Structure 1
Amino acid sequence: MDLGVIDLSRLQFALTALYHFLFVPLTLGLSMMLVIMEAVYVMTDRPIWRVVTRFWGRIFAINFVLGVATGLTMEFQFGTNWSYFSHYVGDIFGAPLAIEGLMAFFLEATFVGLMVFGWEKLSKRGHLFTTVMVALGTNLSALWILVANGWMQNPTGAEFNTDTMRMEVSDFGAVIFNPIAQAKFVHTVSAGYVCASVVVLGISAFWLLKGRYIAVARRSMTVAAAFGLAGSLSVVVLGDESGYALTDNQKMKLAAIEAAWHTAPAPAGLTLFGLPDVAARETRYEVQIPWVLGLIATRSLDKEVTGMSELVLKAQERITSGVIAYDAVERLKVDRTNVAQRARFEAHKRDLGYALLLKRHVADPRMASPQLIATTAWDVVPNVPLMFWSFRIMAFIGFFMIALFGAAFVLTSLRLHTKTRWFLKLAVIAIPLPWIAIELGWMLAEIGRQPWAIEGVLPTFLAASSLTRGVLWTTIFGFTAIYGTLAVIEVRLILATIRKGPYEHDEDLPGPAAARLATATPPLPLVA
């Protein structure tokens, strides 16, 4: 196999996934905020809330279109770039994606048109219903995508079929209610709520700094402050729950995040700072908070957090066991009625995927020496420095968001947010931070799973299609050019919408505000 093709296939998918996820969190969060804003309009019957809802609905619509355009590409890539992945686990992985398209995406796409164009056609309550359906569709879409991704992290409810030589569903309920998928869903959705809240907070703060659209900005900031505070607290709490889920299902990922090379006495301390040294397999200059990691990861003071060295020894045992399963499978290909080999496979089938790791070094895993098995066992350790620092930057941004929205909530409650210019400037500067944290979070999730495409089942280097480097480079440059163009278009559309303001026509402005707008200097660009 050409490992360069594998790396380029991973790079292409990573670029498209990270780009697509620039749009997803804003869509998730804005859909829920629109429900809140429009519900206030329906309950109070105050026209200003209609203006508020319609403006943020336009931002949502621009973002939604780009999200759909970039998301479609990713699903096709499973067939074009990861054909063996699709063949080997398609029966399981494809089901949540199909349900997402039929249940969530169609629901979302149907009602988003009514939401955008139905203001003059529907009653107030009828239009609120369409907005609720859009929010439901976006969140259901995230649910089914994360069920699929959660199964890749923790492949429950599926077994290898020696007759078809593929993974097949044995318990679809276990696939849906996978603990990793549940933790990822609530954590991801909460991060989207924070992202949208920061955007609404920052744009409102920009208007207040410029002294424009004060009525809309004040109300938008009030909603963003409360919703963002709840969302940021949820992200941290649910992130803790995700860490607890890793203890049972992805111990290597947790150890890599903490750069825990060896098992420490219980309760383990949380490393605030350190310099992971991969060559020496130790972390230098560690600064730890005693007991905290043990409490987060095990919910106890007497359970250990297993280190990478000990996990590698377990991987070595599983590779050895997997070779037995691999040998039984090869013999069953010749004689499917061989009862002894079927029983032998059943005893070791849990470790079959670990034997496949040897195919990176030898064509037939049964030919691997004990030394090669010991060396291959270290392949299960992901990129420790990248994991270590990505988590800490993400966590720092998460706690900063709590502080930001805590201050916003206090200032809006005291009606001081229009006068506190230092906070308004900080809110504008903070707009990119949630995206940085979210992208780092996805890097943690996906790089932390390496070398597996499906944790413990299918190594990444076996999952890719038989493509050439030239084809992959061409598509990488092509996607980058297309997506870069789309990014410029979206940013220009959103900036133009912000500059135009929340009122669609000058005659919609309140009387005094219309007079002020007529004599006002043109607003500076958002980046000014």
Structure 2
Amino acid sequence: MELDIVALSRLQFAATALYHFLFVPLTIGLSIILAIMETVYVMTKRPIWRQMTKFWGILFGINFALGVSTGIVMEFQFGMNWSYYSHYVGDIFGAPLAIEGLMAFFLEATLVGLFFFGWERLSSVKHLLVTWFMALGTNFSALWILIANGWMQNPTGAALNPQTMRMEVTSFADVLFNSVAQAKFVHTVSAGYTIAAIFVLGVSSWYLLKGRHIDLAKRSMTVAASFGLAASLSVVVLGDESGYLSGEHQSMKLAAVEAMWETQPAPASFTAIGFPDQEARETHYAVHIPWVMGLIGTRSLDTVIPGIDELVKQADGRIRSGILAYDALEEVRTYGYNTIPADVKARFEANSADLGYALLLKRYVDDPRQATEEQISKAAWDTVPQVAPLFWTFRIMVGLGFFFILLTATFFWLSAKHRLDAHPWLLKVAVWSIPLPWIAAECGWFVAEFGRQPWAIEGVLPVAVAVSNLSASTVLTTLLGFVAIYTVLLIVEMKLMLKAIRKGPQLDAQDIEANETSPYAYPPRTLSA
């Protein structure tokens, strides 16, 4: 890939997004786990549950601070590196982004402050309400950015104003209740729950292996195993929903993930493993599972999933239709808003849905109407993303998802049998599994974003048209700067987290008093070391 302005802008946004998403899902998941633990404390009055909430809350707070600081930069990148994108779709994209900012920086941050500084100032019930509102605020903060991202995958509720050359909202309800956005939200949040559950499970397993904080570790593992099992099962179910919606709205992504070069008779088989060859347009040594892809992609036995070759032919036709729309658009813009001749308006509206496909030609020619047959063919094949990375990334993600189900189910069963520390080797597996859900989550985002190339807005605005008019050296400099700063932040975060974990839970005055007077007090040895 040539490191031109488009490639560098994509790489910069990908790097900052992947760094940012190292912190976000743990924050989302831990917020709910904290609320569950504090609920048990308020209901039982057992001081250990209060101490558990405060201990895991420290790790939540460290992660929250890094998540907010790394997220700020991403929003400014739209104006810096993607100025035409911001101009073209800012009226739609900006609204959910602004709401997300308000929730993250005002509502959520205020509740986080009350959570940490309200233990001695609020009653137990009031503090519990704060914790639950903080958890809900953290989760709904993610909703708005995923609504914005879902609209990029399925641009509904908006239309192009040919006079201003900007997309404008026609139905905010359609933007808000976009089926792709809603599926992405629940799927992403469930992934965050899984990450937090495996994190708590792994850290608690480390405590058991070290013989430290036994009571806290076992109770935390019980919560994490049950919560994680439900979350990991949800990820698989909701991932199936995302696959189905991809078949409806992003057929090329689905075909590329499956390395389906030619259209198969319904129901299509699923390629469990193989080696995609994009030049030869075939998958070598493929192992197929009959019917599975047809059920995932269409939820039927008689609906055909189009292959890559057929979708390229469809893109060719849409490019030609888009050229007609581009020609009509140039004529429309010579008139005032109320003086456009009916025949010109009709010609534009008949082909306007394919205007974005004509913009794919901008990579090869300034005026799409002057494109040659060869350039049209190249533009049609540009709609095919790199298949091999998508193919393997998707399978890594799915494989890890099933591993998480097995791991949490095993610890859930051991918890029910009160044998969490019966198998040291299994505790070691849990410790070494801590980074795996992050790998799965990053793979998921890679599939979602890399799979919709070459589009910034699916079928509407190509990435190559959306960038700012900057020099490649400028973007490269900022890219290297962001990577350096974010790497330092990541190292700082990991050191703070490890320091807090090694230090373990700390007793304050109220904990000591509760430990001395409560009939449910836990042995002091479990809070020492």
Q: What TM-score does the superposition give when structure 2 sets the normalisation length?
A: 0.96
Give the corresponding residue for 1:399: 402
Structure-2 change in CA distance of 1:47 and 1:10 (3 Å):
same
Deviation for aligned residue 1:335: 2.5
CA distance in 2, matches of 1:500, 1:102: 34
Q: Deviations over 1:276-303 (max 9, x none)?
A: 0101111111101100111111111111
Give the corresponding residue for 1:242: 242
Which of 410, 421, 438 is residue 435 of structure 1 equivalent to? 438
Which of 338, 341, 357 is residue 340 of structure 2 equivalent to? 338
CA distance in 1, matches of 2:469, 2:349: 31
Question: For residue 222 of structure 2, what is the amino acid of its counterpart?
Answer: T
CA distance in 2, matches of 1:446, 1:13: 11
Deviation for aligned residue 1:515: 5.9
Report the more deviating stretch, 199-208 or 420-429. 420-429
Which of 470, 473, 477 is residue 470 of structure 1 equivalent to? 473
Give the corresponding residue for 2:108: 108
Q: What TM-score does the superposition give when structure 1 sets the normalisation length?
A: 0.96
Deviation for aligned residue 1:516: 8.0
Q: Deviations over 1:441-497 (max 9, x none)?
A: 001010001000000000001111111122112111211121111111111111111
Aligned positions of 1:36-115 closer than 5 A: 36-103=36-103, 105-115=105-115
Give the corresponding residue for 1:229: 229
Matched, 1:486 2:489: yes
CA distance in 1, matches of 2:347, 2:235: 45
Give the corresponding residue for 2:203: 203
CA distance in 2, matches of 1:260, 1:288: 11
Contact kept? 1:107, 1:133, Cα under 8 Å: no
Q: Which runs of 5+ in 1 are unaligned?
A: 521-528
Secondary structure of 2:122's partner?
coil
Contact kept? 2:84, 2:465, Cα under 8 Å: yes
Question: For residue 439 of structure 1, what is the amino acid of its counterpart?
Answer: E
Secondary structure of 1:300's partner?
coil
Give the corresponding residue for 2:126: 126
Give the corresponding residue for 1:268: 268
Deviation for aligned residue 1:196: 0.2
Report the more deviating stretch, 503-512 or 307-316. 503-512
Secondary structure of 1:159's partner?
strand
Aligned positions of 1:294-313 closer than 5 A: 294-313=294-313
Deviation for aligned residue 1:102: 2.5
CA distance in 1, matches of 2:371, 2:417: 70
CA distance in 2, matches of 1:36, 1:257: 37
Contact kept? 1:263, 1:307, Cα under 8 Å: yes
Question: For residue 340 of structure 2, what is the amino acid of its counterpart?
Answer: N
Contact kept? 1:251, 1:306, Cα under 8 Å: yes
Contact kept? 2:276, 2:388, Cα under 8 Å: yes
CA distance in 2, matches of 1:515, 1:300: 59
Deviation for aligned residue 1:502: 1.3
CA distance in 2, matches of 1:3, 1:56: 43
Contact kept? 2:213, 2:525, Cα under 8 Å: no
Q: Deviations over 1:398-433 (max 9, x none)?
A: 000000001010001101112221111110010000
Contact kept? 1:104, 1:140, Cα under 8 Å: no
Which of 423, 427, 448 is residue 424 of structure 1 equivalent to? 427
CA RMSD of aligned residues (A): 1.6
Q: Deviations over 1:174-213 (max 9, x none)?
A: 1111111011111000000000000000000000000000
Aligned positions of 1:180-191 closer than 5 A: 180-191=180-191
Give the corresponding residue for 2:519: none
Contact kept? 1:105, 1:138, Cα under 8 Å: no
Q: How many equivalent pairs are there?
A: 518
Structure-2 change in CA distance of 1:437 and 1:516 (3 Å):
closer
Matched, 1:497 2:514: no
Give the corresponding residue for 2:447: 444
Aligned positions of 1:322-361 closer than 5 A: 322-336=322-336, 337-339=339-341, 340-361=343-364
Question: For residue 134 of structure 1, what is the amino acid of its counterpart?
Answer: M
Deviation for aligned residue 1:101: 2.0
Structure-2 change in CA distance of 1:225 and 1:517 (3 Å):
closer
Q: Which runs of 5+ in 2 are unaligned?
A: 517-521
Q: Deviations over 1:223-257 (max 9, x none)?
A: 00000000000000000011011111000000000
Percent identity of paired positions between Structure 1 and Structure 2: 62
CA distance in 2, matches of 1:311, 1:398: 30
Which of 459, 462, 471 is residue 462 of structure 2 equivalent to? 459
Question: For residue 16 of structure 2, what is the amino acid of its counterpart?
Answer: T
Contact kept? 2:266, 2:302, Cα under 8 Å: yes
Q: Deviations over 1:139-161 (max 9, x none)?
A: 11111000000000000011111
